[in-house]
Amino acid sequence: MSITRLSSKGQLVLPKPVRDALGLEPGDELLVEIESDTIRIVPHRKRRLQEVLKRLPGHRPREKYRNAGDLLAVEREEARRRWRQ
């Protein structure tokens, strides 16, 4: 357990051991929730497109997509190809 102090501006510094344990870096987002009389701070990790695709059943990405638009273009082309058969 670590102790930290709230600044006059309402800022809170997470102790280094806490940041290191959670792999937090400057600019990372944190979710702040209130549960009864407790503050809960949880890392908000944005999932990369490749991580989301791995979870889709039956989807095996053949290439790395730069963004969702690239993925949609490939999927549309595949659907057109299947429709023609």
Which pLDDT tens digit goes with each residue over 14-38?
Answer: 999 988 888 888 888 898 999 899 9
User: Rounded to whole angstroms, how far apart are CA atoms 73 and 50?
Assistant: 16
In whole angstroms, what separates CA 24 from the centre of its chain? Answer: 12
Q: What is the pTM of this model?
A: 0.49
Q: Which residues pair with 6 in a beta bridge?
A: 12
Q: Fill in the amino acid letter for 71.
A: L
Of residues 20 and 74, more confidence is placed in 20
